[in-house]
A = this chain, B = another copy of it.
Amino acid sequence: MQRSLENVRVLDFTRVLAGPYCTMLLADMGAEVIKIERPGAGDDTRHFGPFQNGESGYFVYLNRGKKSMALDLKNPHAITAIKELVKESDVVVENFRPGVMKKLGLDYESLKELNPSIIYTSISGFGQYGPYSQRPAYDLVAQAMGGMTSITGHPDDPPTRSGASLGDMSAALYAVYGIMVALFHRERTGEGQLIDVAMTDSIFALLENNVMRYTVDRIVPERIGSRHPISSPFDIFQAQDGHVVIAVANESLFEKLAEVMNQPELIKDKRFCLDSLRTKNETELKAIIETWLSGYTVAEAVEMISKGGIPCSPILTIRDVCEDEHTKAREMLIQVDHPMAGKMKIPGNPVKLSQTPAIIKEASPILGEHTGQVLKDVLKWDWKRLQDLEEQEV
């Protein structure tokens, strides 16, 4: 099977989540990702749970299909080796705090002297420039400073974090788009470049129409729970044993719903006879729907409502979605076999390419597993030189 990023070599200095997820997306498509890790401890996520036979599932998932070199960035010999590797690489990715790579002599200005066509990618909390660029950022900070938490949650609740690390994940996605754009450009022109992606910018970029409502109408969007801002009933509702989504955005769907509920009087009710009125009186309408739903389980309600031609769905827990037939059919959970951890199920790649599909077979590397091999294969360094380096590493 051909792989689209065959012969693309990525030198990967990233740690934890945003950077490793970005380079994972490159590895899935066949890039040779060489992960540079601290000797001894390695990437922090090697020590984050959940563990299986002492190996981190979090690390296995994010670092599948990569190579690991254990190199101490404080060791000048290691820096020499890295600079030689840069000459043989296509892409560099790092997610240190701005300034760290410069102190190591590994900033873009230094590395492009060695390889002018290198594509150098920095992922950080607030970016490489701008007034906050030196601030530390965790995902929670990026979600809060990017505007997302202010609009997530129920009206009476405090601002709410999204359940997953959107700051990291979105920065990774924007970065991989940037890297692919730069690789395409380089293929046509030979030119390399610097890419700067910030977690807060990435969160801001996800806000979509919330930004336009402010810049055009000066409305400051607030937390409205799960409901639709201008249609009702379009929300999450409580049934006997859980919650269901009902998505009614026009008059004909509302008529169908009233029929399913066996309450045709709702259609002519002055409070509910138009979408705009339903939205205005949405609290009352929600109470009526939930009273009706209290007589049914989620499964019963979803079947009845769907049968009536109204968009409706259950709310899947993480277990539900992992065990779902559709998730399996879409190959969204893939089994890998790790030499120490054993078999593990990890999330698949959501991009289904017909000719050059993502291939996820190899688990993550053991720390330093490929230090010698990469030096030998890529740099043709002889054993003596390799040993000198390794001694320094210890």
Interfacial residues, chain A to chain B (CB-CB below 8 A): 2, 4-5, 17, 21, 25, 29, 48-52, 57-58, 60-61, 108, 126-132, 135-136, 138, 140-141, 144-154, 157-166, 168-171, 173-178, 180-185, 187-189, 191-198, 200-202, 204-217, 219-221, 223, 225-226, 228, 234-236, 238, 243, 245, 247, 311, 313-322, 325-327, 329-330, 332-333, 344-356
Contact = CB atoms under 8 A, between A and B. Distances in A.
Contacts of A132: 326
17 contacts: A4-B181, A4-B185, A52-B216, A57-B213, A130-B325, A148-B162, A154-B154, A166-B206, A169-B208, A173-B174, A173-B177, A185-B355, A187-B187, A192-B355, A202-B350, A204-B332, A204-B347
Total copies of this chain within the assembly: 2
B2 A346 contact: no
A184 B327 contact: no
Given A152-B152, A354-B195, A332 B187 contact: no
Contact of A157 (B157, B180, B200, B314): B157
B193 A353 contact: yes
Given A177-B173, A350-B174, A236 B140 contact: yes
Contacts of A243: 158-159
Contacts of A182: 4, 353, 355-356
Contacts of A245: 140-141, 144
B158 A152 contact: no
Contact of A219 (B50, B185, B197, B326): B50
Contacts of A225: 158, 160-161
B163 A210 contact: yes
Nearest to A108: B354
